[in-house]
Structure 1
């Protein structure tokens, strides 16, 4: 069954209708895809507000508990480089549904974990399969008209981001009602439900016969050498997510510690602060459609760095922590959306591989930020984490400035979406 589900089609098949003349993705289908991406990635974030609770039940150290976040990022990065390019080889609806089904199965296994080793393995495998979300993003883009690309990316990414944010918020409340394992089981059931709906609603999206799998992976990695703009944007994305994850990894320990003493449900609700960032994503997408991609990128990276001043003061002040986190989330999602609009315009004929290369670098940066935050928290507390986050965000801003300088000096191909 699984073999048939993912069997590549070696005979040429009709391409989907041209986004210039064919039907565009309907609003209902776009919202369904958006919801599916959110549920797919939710399993990668449900553990974040529960780290203290899970550590206590499974007798894990603080550093080991923090590695749950890192395992999710590493698994997702591996899925992006090893699985996502298959969207340029397999029929994409079958690939997306197969990955969603695997995500649900891995979540069930993670929820039954008897120890830390199984928990980390289950988290990594869940994240590996959850790249179904990134198969669906370019799927929606392929059905959209070029002039609507920013809006479509913004809508689908809003669902993806809300999935992670609401997972943090809801998981705390569910854990208090039925334990942390219940969170994984409920999410698995929801993923299976949305997979069934997508099976009924998604159009088939065929890909003509392409290179074999080894050549597919090699061509994906080769994009970094061939596309200078991809390199710039991958670096900016990696540093911005590293800064973002530094906050969300360490803030759980801050809020659960003696200074705050919050419960799991309260820590989860704190994650709702990030909803502002998700809601800002469609706005950033519309600005991109108006040719303001670089304005969004520059302002986003600058605010990302400045937000850490308030976050640092938040070690003892909930108001500063709330304000800084709000700014950080809006800035991060604006940077991501603007970068996606740039890279998706590079090579439409191999968009899954371009997306794979960019998002792999993006989540490798995120995994690095999570791991560094766990170590820095243990060594230097909240002040150390704040310095780390600010340095990473500042590096993202400087990299954006260097990209613009290189463009003006004519050292790379023109950015087709530059403001």
Structure 2
């Protein structure tokens, strides 16, 4: 079916279950493209003669693409029909995936990864903004949490799928297979996804982009939760970017399939995402944040023991994903309450912090491993997680009280968001 609805009216009624499920699945499949390279860093380093200290640049190139998407593409959802925009981006993503699979040099590989990061991120965040706008205010946290749960599962399946296909058909097969999957997804979205017309059509493209920076400058909730996200995603990237290196080396010498399977133990992160969104709807976002940040910090102790015992590694991954995803969904739920007419720009501004944190974490992680081994990686991750917890505690008094809409007493002026000079 193809139901057409305006974004403003779409938020008035509860979202149908099948649409929530579709958005979650599409979010997971889209974001997976950004993370396929993580368990493949070792073989990419070998094929393109890149050192272990520098191979994190493959992930960094993808994160640069993520940042460009957030600056240039995601805000368009507040000006265009999000359904049409996402279908155009999906078609370009298929081309980018084929380009990565055909890469013949490190430069073409990096360019292809940048394009995959650009378009995969634009798709994923466009779907999250779509879910936030279509959901009724009373269920927005839950709906965004379910969509974010799809992202978590996509991340986990990305690592497993990349490992399995790389063992069977080489790393290039990972990207060719994904291109086919995205084509199928495009047909489903075209046939099922309702149109969603934004409230800010009168903004020019330049005004739209500038208004996102107005939000970043004035919206205190976005600033605070964005900085917490930057540190949290840096901690995530520190772990996942370095994990393949000790597990591929002796005494483990695991296959890519087995390394990717370690991501499956983080499936509880998807459960945390949905539950954290529900708690945020009930006004418990700050309490949830504090507990999740403590869990994130504590996770590094079992992760440090992980190279001596795989059971400790599993416990650490569960704690890391549980805490991180709860923080992420709580952040988004709080931010989406500030300016309902600007969901695409809000998610773009928020995820800019994510892109910076993930890119810095990837570079620092592989460098720390090359210099200090796994102990250096864990100390780096624990330090970043501790900074996130300290930032949350120091900024509590600057955040709105539970149940009080943030825009009631802080935030960007409405006229500024609508293109006033």
Q: Provide the rounded CA distance (Å) in 2 between the counterparts of 1:217 and 1:69.
A: 26
Identify the range of structure 1 (64-73 vs 76-85) with the bigger mean alpha-carbon deviation: 64-73
Figure out how many residues of one structure are paired with residues of the other and give that number: 401
Alpha-carbon contact 2:338-2:406 (below 8 Å) kept: no
Q: Please point out which of 23, 28, 46 is paired with 1:56.
A: 46
Q: Provide the rounded CA distance (Å) in 2 between the counterparts of 1:20 and 1:98.
A: 24
| Matching of residue 165 in structure 1 with residue 156 in structure 2 | yes
| Matching of residue 32 in structure 1 with residue 32 in structure 2 | no
| Matching of residue 271 in structure 1 with residue 263 in structure 2 | yes
SS in 2 for 1:205: strand
SS in 1 for 2:338: coil
| Matching of residue 236 in structure 1 with residue 228 in structure 2 | yes
Once the two structures are superposed, residues 338-394 of structure 1 have per-residue CA deviations (whole angstroms, 9 ceiling, x without a partner) of: 000000111001111111111111221111111111111111111111111001111
* Counterparts of residues 87-126 of structure 1 (less than 5 Å): 87-126=77-116
Q: Provide the rounded CA distance (Å) in 2 between the counterparts of 1:348 and 1:405.
A: 23
CA shift for structure 1 position 235: 0.2
Alpha-carbon contact 1:407-1:413 (below 8 Å) kept: no
TM-score by length of 2: 0.91
Query: Aligned residue for 1:146?
Result: 137
Query: Aligned residue for 2:185?
Result: 194
| Matching of residue 327 in structure 1 with residue 316 in structure 2 | no
| Matching of residue 42 in structure 1 with residue 16 in structure 2 | no
Which runs of no fewer than 5 residues in structure 2 stay unpaired? Answer: 409-421
C-alpha spacing 1:361/1:408, structure 2 compared with 1 (3 Å): closer
TM-score by length of 1: 0.92
Query: Aligned residue for 1:71?
Result: 61
CA shift for structure 1 position 16: 3.1
SS in 2 for 1:215: helix
CA shift for structure 1 position 32: 1.2
Alpha-carbon contact 2:5-2:194 (below 8 Å) kept: no
Query: Aligned residue for 2:382?
Result: 390
Once the two structures are superposed, residues 238-260 of structure 1 have per-residue CA deviations (whole angstroms, 9 ceiling, x without a partner) of: 00000011000011101111242
Query: Aligned residue for 1:219?
Result: 211
Q: Provide the rounded CA distance (Å) in 2 between the counterparts of 1:414 and 1:91.
A: 27
Which runs of no fewer than 5 residues in structure 1 stay unpaired? Answer: 1-12
| Matching of residue 254 in structure 1 with residue 246 in structure 2 | yes
Once the two structures are superposed, residues 231-285 of structure 1 have per-residue CA deviations (whole angstroms, 9 ceiling, x without a partner) of: 1000000000000110000111011112421111111111112212122211111
Alpha-carbon contact 1:162-1:278 (below 8 Å) kept: yes
